Amino acid sequence: MSNRIVDVIKMEPAKKIEVSGWVRSFRANKFISLNDGSCMASLQVVIDPDNFDIETINGLNTGASIWVSGPLVESLGGGQKTEISANEIRIIGNSNPEELQKTILQPKKHSLEKLREQGHLRMRTNLFGAVFRIRHHMSFAIHKYFNDKGFFYIHTPIITGTDAEGAGETFRVTTLPLGKKEVDNSQDFFGKPTHLTVSGQLEAELAALALGKAYTFGPTFRAENSNTTRHLAEFWMVEPEIAFADINDDIDLGEDFLKYLINYALDKCQEDLKFLNERALKEEEQLPKEKRNELSLIERMKMVSSNKFERISYTEAINILERSKPNKKKKFKYPIEWGVDLQSEHEKFLVEKHFKKPVVIVDYPASIKAFYMRENDDGKTVAAMDILFPGIGEIIGGSQREERYEVLQKKCKEFKIPEDAIWWYLETRKFGSVPHAGFGLGFERLMMFVTGMTNIRDVIPFPRTPNNAEF
């Protein structure tokens, strides 16, 4: 097995090492820049063309995969500490230079749209290499955080027969023949209508009510037709549930969790973050001043991890918005009044203009939130909480769950949820029900925050959005 470049660049000079990777460039018939994806940095391979046959030299095209062996020596050039002086080179996979011109492997600046169209190749670029290495580290950190805190990872179903979450439009799952006008659901595969899950929460609750602390981390599906830069049809959600806990414990967990993940990235992904930070600064130079971020990516991450999140009630949020300048100047598109759902323009104002730090909003009107959220004593609001981040808006949505059987039963009626669809959910409130709470973190929203990428399609390897399910 070859050495990985991430290890080689930290090594002292050595007699013989072997590396395998893809040629980024070959210049002056002498210097190969070799990248193997293990890190941002490429390794310099120096060759004496007289020592290699013409096929090998001609095969050293951008994109080609090669194996190299030779001593690791101190580099005379300024860009790197060490380099390989190649004794042996094998071309493993050729890369046709003419065809390469049409691809994003061609070393020049490509638009994010073009990179998306070539999603099969974009991970080979510095930008997407960085994004997807960070994505790995964030996934790992999520499991580590919960494991260290005594949570159990539970796999909740992807196909579900519950149409109760009310979290959005669903994708149907069926084996019934296409094009039939009359559908007999009893003849379908599961003997009833099923769809792809929009959330693993209800099942995660069942786990928490047995194991104490549980979480799911898996794909979720919503037929979001909105085509925004923050919504995907298939995305990954992290959903912890804690028993014997209330809404404040839930917020504490959400804040601690987000800060942990951000600090983990700052600590473990320094090289990739530095690249993304500089890239974003360069991109923003092209924007008019008022559209630029006041803080850089890394500064934003540090700001969030070192500040206490502001906690306010929905009612306070409405008051602030009513008194705000943009409202008085009629700059908001959507009206503000107690009872309405907050729109992204409102969330943006609260986080970026008013408080200038993450904001947690609690106690939303019951009518705009899901049936399972715990009713507050005022009878009008529920113990729901949203965590809002600069540049992202809602990153976490959570609540204390209604643990009182009668109240939950009443809410089911109000929300027109047939009891026979979620009898099992209600039943947990009959046998040792306890106050419990949880939330959903959109993994790609977190990824947007820690990479500075502004379109959610650029933080998931293969995005699914309306009219787009390539690869």
Among 132, 145, 146, 235, binds ligand ATP (CB under 6 A): 235
> Residue 213's closest CA among 146, 158, 261?
146
Restricting to residues 403-422, which ones interact with ligand ATP according to CB under 6 A? none
| 459 touches ligand ATP (CB under 6 A) | no
> Residue 157's closest CA among 192, 211, 207, 191?
207
Only one residue has tokens 């190749």, namely: 121
C-beta of 81: minimal distance to ligand ATP in Å? 41
The region of 32-40, 62-70, 83-91, 228-236 touching ligand ATP under the rule CB under 6 A is 228-236
C-beta of 55: minimal distance to ligand ATP in Å? 49
Residues in contact with ligand ATP, counted by CB under 6 A, come to a total of 16
> Residue 312's closest CA among 387, 254, 381?
387
Identify which of residues 66 and 131 has a Cβ nearer to ligand ATP in the complex: 131
Rounded Cα distance between 400 and 382, Å, is 8
Rounded Cα distance between 129 and 131, Å, is 6
Q: How far is CA 1 from the centre of its chain?
A: 32
Among 188, 224, 310, 316, binds ligand ATP (CB under 6 A): 224
Restricting to residues 426-445, which ones interact with ligand ATP according to CB under 6 A? 440, 442, 444-445
Helix 270-285 / helix 126-148 crossing angle, nearest 10 deg: 130
Identify which of residues 40 and 362 has a Cβ nearer to ligand ATP in the complex: 362
One-letter amino acid of 105:
L
Backbone angles phi, psi at 125, to 5 degrees: -85, 160
Identify which of residues 32 and 232 has a Cβ nearer to ligand ATP in the complex: 232
The region of 120-128, 230-238, 279-287, 309-317 touching ligand ATP under the rule CB under 6 A is 230-238
| 397 touches ligand ATP (CB under 6 A) | yes
The β-bridge partners of 365 are 381
Restricting to residues 48-77, which ones interact with ligand ATP according to CB under 6 A? none
Residue 152 CB-density burial (10 A; 0-12 exposed, 13-18 middle, 19+ buried): middle
- The three-class DSSP label of residue 25 is strand
Among 312, 396, 447, 453, binds ligand ATP (CB under 6 A): 396
Identify which of residues 190 and 332 has a Cβ nearer to ligand ATP in the complex: 332
Query: Residue 456: which region, alpha, beta or left (left: phi > 0; alpha: psi -120 to 50)?
Result: alpha
Among 394, 421, 454, 464, binds ligand ATP (CB under 6 A): 394
Identify which of residues 26 and 449 has a Cβ nearer to ligand ATP in the complex: 449
C-beta of 133: minimal distance to ligand ATP in Å? 21
Query: Residue 88: which region, alpha, beta or left (left: phi > 0; alpha: psi -120 to 50)?
Result: beta
The region of 19-27, 78-86, 395-403, 414-422 touching ligand ATP under the rule CB under 6 A is 395-403
The region of 99-107, 110-118, 231-239, 280-288 touching ligand ATP under the rule CB under 6 A is 231-239
| 231 touches ligand ATP (CB under 6 A) | yes
C-beta of 234: minimal distance to ligand ATP in Å? 8
Query: Residue 432: which region, alpha, beta or left (left: phi > 0; alpha: psi -120 to 50)?
Result: left
Identify which of residues 5 and 238 has a Cβ nearer to ligand ATP in the complex: 238
Q: Evaluate whether 217 touches 143 at the Cβ level (below 8 Å).
A: yes
Among 66, 196, 382, 395, binds ligand ATP (CB under 6 A): 395
> Residue 77's closest CA among 30, 116, 11?
30
Only one residue has tokens 């502004």, namely: 454
| 222 touches ligand ATP (CB under 6 A) | yes
The contact pattern for ligand ATP, residues 158-177, with x = CB under 6 A and - = no contact, is ---------xx---------
Cβ within 8 Å of residue 410, ≥6 positions away: none
The secondary structure of residue 352, as a DSSP letter, is I
Where along the sequence are the contacts to ligand ATP (CB under 6 A)? 167-168, 222, 224, 231-232, 235, 237, 394-397, 440, 442, 444-445
